[in-house]
Amino acid sequence: MELQSLESRDANREATIRRIRSSARAIRMHALNMVFEARQGHPGGDMSVTDILATLYFGVLRVDPKAPHESGRDRLILSKGHASGALYSTLAEAGFIPIEALSTYMKPLSMLNGHPNRNNVAGVEANTGPLGHGLPIAVGIALAGKIDNADYRVFVITGDGELQEGSNWEAAMASGHHKLANLTLIVDRNTLQQGARVSETNDVEPLADKFRAFRWDVVDVDGHDPGALLDAFAPSADRTKPLCVIAHTIKGKGVSYMEDQVGWHHGVPTQAQLDKAMGELSGS
Amino acid sequence: MSATQPTSPALFDCRDAFAATLDQVAERDNRIVIVVNDSIGSSKLGGFRKRWPQRTINVGIAEQNMVGVGSGLANGGKIPFVSAASCFLTARALEQIKADVAYTNANVKLVGQSPGVGYGELGPTHHSIEDMAWLRLLPNLAIIAPSDPWETAQAVEAAAEHEGPVFLRITRFGVPKLPRPDNARFEIGKAETLREGRDVAIIACGVMVTRALEAADRLADGGVNAQVVNMASIAPLDEAAIRAAADLGAIVTVEEHSRRGGLGGAVAEVVAGYRPCPIRILGFPGFMPTGSPKFLFERFGLTSNGIEKAAREAISLRLL
């Protein structure tokens, strides 16, 4: 009996991981097409955060695209709002918005602004764009959940360069103080920011030590491994602190010529580059 | 105030009306929570904290986080009153107010305590004479500067009921309770004509409303008939009331705020597109020198005397 149930759990997990991988492939392709058609966007960050988003939406979050404002839902805030191409693609794959809407990305009067607006796009929790806003908002939601004894969880994704914004550390301090065990921060640790390496600009290391000093639990994971991400995001009843998941990622992941290249923070592929990317991604 | 001083009216600290009303609202609506930056005492929220410790969130001295937390609490179904000295709340956290509150259209109530020159001698870092100007630029955000304890209480009720972001400007000065009919009711977006007149309109908000009424009395003694409008709702603006004032051909605006971009600016924007007339804008000219609030009010003409003088100037400039 026990063996069987373990086997079926493993089978479920394998199915979930396959679903995450296939969704991630679709999300990357959508996002690149969107950037190509809009002639602007942030493809490098879209690619680095995709596996995190796919793991959350297809393996972790308790959300319902038919009831996106249901009060007991889990929340995900993409604080690095410039990776909107990946977020919108994920929301479309998850059924929150129509797939066809993606082709309107950043076109006049589109609901899909360059940065997300929760009043226009179902599933968006916060109007991010200026960096350092997502974590404070997530702290507020986590506090509301704590006041209500609700069992929803709050997830927030920041960039690593984004952690140079001081507001994050105000919020990190408050999270530790309030022991927000219902809060998970995921740092998309791709080591690049807009203009250069994070380490060359204003180094955030030692990152894990910083969060531990702010009274968080910290885990390091491969941010492109759905299984490792699922393990890191697994709920834990005995958690007493907020959790920081440092997800080690590659900016531009999945597109050979974009990977770890600072120039693809914002950059628009040519037709030939797009074709090459699609070829690589479809085989992934 | 007492039998021995029959001529001086009792003065009230509007923070008391704010705190007492918030208590009443919180009693019947458990979604109400407060968020403060170590500003429990200066917001007079000690009683609230004592009654509802779980609904009191003190983020410490961290205004950006404070406003973001407010937005998150609203996302979680709460009605947060984010209360802090107006200078820090509105300046330090302006981007959070713009993005997390106004643009998000979050149901957050921002409470700017001790605005204007309430902190007198502490100087320009602690004065908040810019708050209405920069907040007035933000869509979705209602801005209310109550004139007295009655209106403060009404505004707190209205803010709690209003679905959407609100900024309340709560003064720490002692102000008298203004005379009003029993059926008076504050409404967001509605001006209140406290005195009818035909020669000049005095449009005031906050603590200046009392002085505007005193100025109208003095003008009446000299045969000038002044209308007095309490424009407690800076946004949304009662444009009909402003057009009616412009029809009189001369306007004085008066606010405990910079002369630029606040109530006077708002009135001028409406009047310029309707029926231009002379507008004397009374307020503070820039960073204030050292002085008590009373000294600063007198030095910069924010007195019944100063308003009277400005009204006569506006009348003399009337385009007829």
B7 confidence band (pLDDT: 50, 70, 90): low
Q: How many CA atoms lie within 13 A of B319 on its CB side?
A: 8
Interface of B with A in 58-97 (CB under 8 A): 59-60, 62, 64-65, 67-78, 80, 95-96
Inter-chain contact B75–A129, Cβ cutoff 8 Å?
Answer: no
Q: Which amino acid is at B127?
A: H
| B65, B95, B105 member nearest A139 (Cβ) | B65
Nearest CA distance, A128 vs chain B (angstrom): 7
Inter-chain contact A126–B104, Cβ cutoff 8 Å?
Answer: yes
For the domain spanning A2-282, the CATH number is 3.40.50.970
Assign a CATH topology to domain B192-316.
Rossmann fold (3.40.50)
Whole-angstrom distance, CA of residue B45 vs CA of residue B54? 14
For the domain spanning B12-175, the CATH number is 3.40.50.970
For residue B82, what are the β-bridge partners? B35, B110
Which among B244, B230, B240, B306 has a CA at the least distance from the CA of B277?
Answer: B244
DSSP state of B144: E
For B190, counting Cβ atoms within 10 Å of its Cβ (0-12 exposed, 13-18 middle, 19+ buried), the class is middle
pLDDT of residue A8: 83
pLDDT of residue B157: 98
Inter-chain contact B59–A174, Cβ cutoff 8 Å?
Answer: yes
Whole-angstrom distance, CA of residue B216 vs CA of residue B203? 11
Nearest CA distance, B73 vs chain A (angstrom): 5
Q: Which amino acid is at B304?
A: S
Cα separations in angstroms, A57 against A50, A52, A282, B316? 11, 9, 21, 69
pLDDT in tens, A239-253: 999 999 999 999 999
Q: Is A141 on the interface with B (CB under 8 A)?
A: yes
Q: Is B302 on the interface with A (CB under 8 A)?
A: no
Domain segments of chain A: what residues? 2-282
Chain A residue numbers touching B80 (CB-CB < 8 A) = 140
Whether B12-175 shares its CATH topology with B192-316 is answered: yes
pLDDT of residue B319: 74
Whole-number percent of chain A with pLDDT over 70: 98
Tokens 């801005």 belong to B143
Inform me whether the pLDDT recorded for A2 exceeds 80: no
pLDDT in tens, B24-65: 999 999 999 999 999 999 999 999 999 999 999 999 999 999
Nearest CA distance, A182 vs chain B (angstrom): 13
For B175, counting Cβ atoms within 10 Å of its Cβ (0-12 exposed, 13-18 middle, 19+ buried), the class is buried
pLDDT in tens, A125-171: 999 999 999 999 999 999 999 999 999 999 999 999 999 999 999 99
Do the strands B166-170 and B142-144 form a parallel or antiparallel pair, or are they unpaired? Answer: parallel
Q: Alpha helix locations (H) across chain A?
A: 2-38, 43-59, 84-93, 134-147, 166-177, 198-201, 207-213, 226-233, 271-282
Q: Are B127 and B86 in contact (CB under 8 A)?
A: no
Inter-chain contact A174–B62, Cβ cutoff 8 Å?
Answer: yes
Cα separations in angstroms, A132 against A45, A265, B65, B93? 16, 18, 9, 12
pLDDT of residue B296: 98
Which among B279, B203, B197 has a CA at the least distance from the CA of B241?
Answer: B203
Inform me whether the pLDDT recorded for A1 exceeds 90: no
Q: Are A131 and A165 in contact (CB under 8 A)?
A: yes
Average pLDDT, integer, range B256-281:
98
pLDDT in tens, A83-130: 999 999 999 999 999 999 999 999 999 999 999 999 999 999 999 999
Inform me whether the pLDDT recorded for B109 exceeds 70: yes
Whole-angstrom distance, CA of residue B280 vs CA of residue A78? 48
pLDDT of residue A283: 80
pLDDT in tens, A210-241: 999 999 999 999 999 999 999 999 999 899 99
Do the strands B251-258 and B226-230 form a parallel or antiparallel pair, or are they unpaired? Answer: unpaired
Domain segments of chain B: what residues? 12-175, 192-316
Inform me whether the pLDDT recorded for A195 exceeds 70: yes
Phi, psi of A104 (to 5 degrees): -90, 0
Inform me whether the pLDDT recorded for B5 exceeds 60: no
Cα first-last separation, chain A: 37
Nearest CA distance, A179 vs chain B (angstrom): 13
B88 confidence band (pLDDT: 50, 70, 90): very high
Whole-angstrom distance, CA of residue A42 vs CA of residue B183? 57
Q: How many CA atoms lie within 13 A of B260 on its CB side?
A: 5
pLDDT of residue A174: 98
Q: Is A123 on the interface with B (CB under 8 A)?
A: no
Residue of chain B nearest A118, judged by CA positions: B104
Whole-angstrom distance, CA of residue A252 vs CA of residue A268? 12
